[in-house]
Each structure stands twice: as structure tokens, then as C-alpha cells.
Structure 1
Amino acid sequence: MRDLVEDLLTWLGEGRRFAVASVVGTSGSAPREPGAALAVAEDGTAVGSVSGGCVEGAVYDLCLEALREGRVIRQTFGYSDDDAFAVGLTCGGIIDILVWPHTAEPAFRAHLDALAADEPVALARILPPAGATGSAGPPRALCITPSGEHTGSAGDAVIDRLVRAEAAAMLDSGRTGVRQVGCDGLEMFVESRMPPPRLLVFGAVDFAAALTRIGRFLGYHVTVCDARPVFATRRRFPDAHEVVVDWPHRYLERQHVDARTAVAVLTHDPKFDIPLLERALRTGARYVGAMGSRRTHDERLRRLREAGVTESELARLRSPIGLDLGARTPEEVAVSIAAELVAVRRGGTCRPLTTTAGPIHALTH
């Protein structure tokens, strides 16, 4: 959508009606990712693409149909073996398309304005049921910012709260895709513009290899950093987005660290840990954890105090790192660390759900 912003804002300014077709889901070797879009104005002008040409003509016609009939359309396109000239993807993939007739609804305009200003934002649109040809009535959408501010409505206050909570979580992860809202089968398509959160893993050890795998699975941009070039190699950490050879504290000083950053210190070596943690605890990182035994932890606290780290800064340190799962293997330890990361990020209690009451998913926005 971002590459269409200039054209769409111009169309809105001119009062032109248009429809936007967005890829909301794919399978197989589909040519475009979710979020790819084609926009068609009422005079037939088109910008963007949803398939690189395979089904562009059919989607173009759907946009004009959505404009004529004033309804949202959801349709799936795939390959047809029976007719090589049938509408379908010759690459063999399948794409799910959402066609949305736009006028000047507040949520969509707020989304475009945020994209034009290069600000993080998410647009959540309520989908017609899968397999349905479309839905009548005005489009239902909400625009959500990282602060929780929102524009627009899904038409129901309860649904709005659920949509905001789910969309905010997807925005925080920088993810685009379809999510279910509540337990009634209602679906929404969330289009996010936000870089993924960062997980900085210090210490090129076997525990780090397991943590990079699960960190990437959770949607983090994962960096492994170690001062020892023999250990910090791409071959040992194929799941990391970056493998950096540098002194950990020196590398951290050059990074932009914010509330969406997690720092995991797995070296348990004072010459690396102390200067690194001294700096990490003074950043805005939401999570700072360090591996080690109880004895290592006590010695680490003593050294950090000697280095001038205050008690309030030390209170931010999650050490020993992770939750008490009885973990022993690197993979199990990675799960315990990942569980703590999720709990800190989402405000979880870390208690078994059988011991809690009320909603399972907190409505944080």
C-alpha cells in the first residue's frame, strides 16, 4: 500500500472514488506477499499490482464491480489445469484478494496520512466470510497507532476493543495478515507498517543458536554478537538475521535501542557481561536478561554495583534469565526465555491459566 499513497491521497483530494484490491493471504508460489495492492479509480485509472500480471485483469474488473455496487468483495484465485486460459495463477500458487471500495472513510484516510508521514500504523479491515462473494453496507475498518489511538469503527463497541487489541499486537510485531476476532468466526485483515522488534543475543553459544530460532519464529529481527570470530559465524547461526563480530558493549553503543528491543546476555563471562549490562540497563530496552547460576547472579550484581549501576537500574535485570520451566537443554532454555519475552511484551502474569480468571487475552488498548 505504501507505494500507492501519493496517488491515493491525490484521488481523495480530487474527490475521486476508487477501490483498492489487497492480497490478504497466499499459499504455494504466489507472486506477491500479503499487503500488495492494486487501486482502480472510477474513471478506470489503475496503479499498483496484486499478482505481477497473472490475475490483474480479473481483479481490475472486481474493483470496478465493487465501486458500482458499493460492497466489499473477497475472492480467491488459483491455477486451473482444465483451462490454461482461465483466470488463475500460472505459477501454481493461490492468493486471497480483498477488494475495498473507498470514498473518504476516516480510518483509511488516517492510514494514508500516517504512511505519507512515514509513521508506524496499522489498518484493520473486517473481512466478509471466506467463500462469500461480498458484503453490502459501508466498509468496517479501524486505523491504529502504536500509542493505542484509533480512528474508525467495526460497527460494534465490543468488536472494536477486540480489533484494537489484536491489531495493536500485530503492529507491535510489524506483521501483516488475517486474524480471527473473538470466537464467532469474524476475521479481519491487518496491514501493518512497523519494523519488527529487535532481539539482541550476546554470546555465540549453543543456547544462543536455539534462542535465535525461536526469536525469529516470534517475529523478532535477531542479531547475534560475540567478540570471538571463531564462534560468531553465519554457519553456526543460520537463523539469525545478523551475526556480528565485535565486543558486545561496543556494538550496543552503536545501536538504536527502544522499548521494542530485547537484550539477552548469554556469555556469563564478566569481561563481556559487566560493561555490556552496565550500558544495557541504561537504555530504553523493555527486556534485559542475563544467563547464569544464582552464584553468578550474585557476583554479577556485586560487580555492577561497583561499576556504578543503581538499584533502580538493577531492578530491571532479569537474571537468571527465563521462566522456571525446569529447562535443561538449549532448546528448553530458549523456550523459557521466549516465554518470559512474551510475558513482558504482552503483560502476562506467567501463571498457569488454570489458576487465573477473566479474559485470557488482556485488552491492552
Structure 2
Amino acid sequence: MDRLIICGGGHVSLEVVHMAARLEYEIIVIDDRIEFANPRRFPLANQVICSSFLDALDQLGSRGSDYYVILTRGHAFDRVCLERILNGRYAYVGMIGSKIKVAAVMKSLQEAGIPPKTLEGVHSPIGLSIGAQTPAEIAVSITAELVKQRAHRGPNAMPPPDEPGILCTIVKKSGSAPRGVGTWMHVRPDGTCVGTIGGGTVEYQTKLDALEFWAQGRSEARQVYDLTHAAAELGMVCGGKIEVSMVCKK
């Protein structure tokens, strides 16, 4: 699962965590103030680290699938976090701030030796431009940009979880089915799921079939699902067929 590492535990961070909790990230919040970095404030986060930003980032290390959201209480801290992050691996890094303050941070980092091309890849000011004003609205713009970035990386951007269950992957598609080849859904033995192959009736049926294969002790199977009939009944123009590979991992 991709990690969403949020630097700063303020009001915007709180809203981002609430929204990102539905987006299947491992959410980590770091701040150096105990009143802003504790599990009671962020019950939806997977991990909350109260430490200096540099120590926390060093503790976490970096991965090519990490998403960083920099929302600290000041640009001095923003700069410290951004410099450390840019010297590691990541899939996305965004930083809040006005254009003037962001420009000052970027100039400082360029003078410190960070290549201009690397700095150009930073999403700052962070979030999609939707006229957001309140912390909740800003969080909407940030999480929307995270969704956009992950979609740009393709269906294999987030690897399936390494745990028991049935991995359902679209291996063939025809027509206007909503999701493409390579899209996956991991069905746990208790029926909960990670990922999606399109939602709706077909996804529900896929889950039921996967759980039946699990109960039968089968290791691998393929199933074809036809969306055309269901779409016609609902007066929809979408349809098509998907072929789904199901692989059980005990």
C-alpha cells in the first residue's frame, strides 16, 4: 500500500487525513508538537510520529511509492522537509504556501544544489486549483491532486497488499467497461476489499465468486463478466466485457 506522509499536524492536515482515509493509503502524520501529533487527534492515521521533522523522515526512510504532503506551520519547516524529501525517493511531493513564499523556498533550495528539474516536479502551491479557502476545501483540492497523480501512474502504481486473500485482476477488456487491463481488487477472506475493478454489480459478483473459490480451496481461476445486459437494463451506454484472473494466496 502506498504511504501518504503528511508533514504537519494542523487544521488542514486533519481534514486531509479524514478524506485520504477512504483512498487506501497508509497514512502517517509527523509533527514535533505533542498536542498536534498524537493518536487521539488523528484516529484515522495508521501512524503518528511526534519528533523533529528530519528525525521522523529519517525514521521512515523513502520509497518510490511515497506521497508527501507538506503542511507545516512555517516555511522554515517546509524547506527543511522538502530538501530531505527531494534527496530521497517518492511518487509525489506537494507543499502548501503562497506563490511568493513558495518561490523563496525554491530559490533557496536551488542555491543549496537541488536541480531545477527536480524542483519543477514539486506540486506547489499544493492541490488542484478549485478556489479552495477553508481547511476542508483545501483538503479536497489536495486529495483530488493525489487521485490525479496516482491515476497518471497507471493501475500498477499501487501494488496489491501482501496478505491472504484473492487477487482479482482484469486481464482482458472489450467495449466500454469502466476499468482497464491491470486494474485489481484484493478480496480478503472476511469479504472486505482493497482496490476496485469498477464497482457496481459486476464487482459485487466478482467478490462473491472470489470468496467461493477461496472456500473451495482453488488456487487460480478466470471468469468473464458481461456488463452489457446490466447497462441496457439501466438505460446506460456503457457496457462491454471484462475477463478477471483470480489468484488465491493463503
Q: TM-score, normalised on structure 1? A: 0.41
Following TM superposition, by how much is the alpha carbon of 1:270 offset from its aligned partner in structure 2, in angstroms? Answer: 2.9
Following TM superposition, by how much is the alpha carbon of 1:230 offset from its aligned partner in structure 2, in angstroms? Answer: 2.5
Q: How does 1:216-227 map to 2 (within 5 A)?
A: 216-227=21-32
Residue 224 of structure 2 aligns with which residue?
Answer: none
Q: Which runs of 4+ in 1 moved over 3 A?
A: 358-365
| Among candidates 268, 279, 284, match of residue 84 of structure 2 | 279
Contact 2:30–2:49 (8 Å) recurs in 1:
yes
Distance between the aligned counterparts of 1:276 and 1:227, measured in 2? Answer: 12
Whether 1:259 and 2:54 are equivalent positions in the alignment is no
Distance between the aligned counterparts of 1:200 and 1:270, measured in 2? Answer: 18
Contact 1:199–1:263 (8 Å) recurs in 2:
yes
Whether 1:310 and 2:115 are equivalent positions in the alignment is yes
Distance between the aligned counterparts of 2:181 and 2:94, measured in 1? Answer: 26
Q: How does 1:294-309 map to 2 (within 5 A)?
A: 294-309=99-114
Following TM superposition, by how much is the alpha carbon of 1:271 offset from its aligned partner in structure 2, in angstroms? Answer: 2.7
SS at match of 1:238: coil
Contact 1:281–1:316 (8 Å) recurs in 2:
no
Q: Deviations over 1:180-234 (max 9, x none)?
A: xxxxxxxxxxxxxxxx211000111000001111111101111110112232222
Report the count of equivalent residues.
162
Q: How does 1:1-365 map to 2 (within 5 A)?
A: 196-267=1-72, 269-347=74-152
Structure 1's 360 and 320: CA in aligned 2 closer, same or farther, altered over 3 A?
Answer: farther
> Which is bigger in relative contact order (C-alpha 8 A, separation at least 6)?
2
Structure 1's 311 and 234: CA in aligned 2 closer, same or farther, altered over 3 A?
Answer: same
Distance between the aligned counterparts of 2:54 and 2:182, measured in 1? Answer: 34
Following TM superposition, by how much is the alpha carbon of 1:314 offset from its aligned partner in structure 2, in angstroms? Answer: 0.5
Following TM superposition, by how much is the alpha carbon of 1:273 offset from its aligned partner in structure 2, in angstroms? Answer: 1.4
Contact 2:27–2:45 (8 Å) recurs in 1:
yes
Q: TM-score, normalised on structure 2? A: 0.59
Contact 1:249–1:272 (8 Å) recurs in 2:
no
Contact 2:10–2:73 (8 Å) recurs in 1:
no
Structure 1's 217 and 199: CA in aligned 2 closer, same or farther, altered over 3 A?
Answer: same
**Percentage of identical aligned residues:** 34
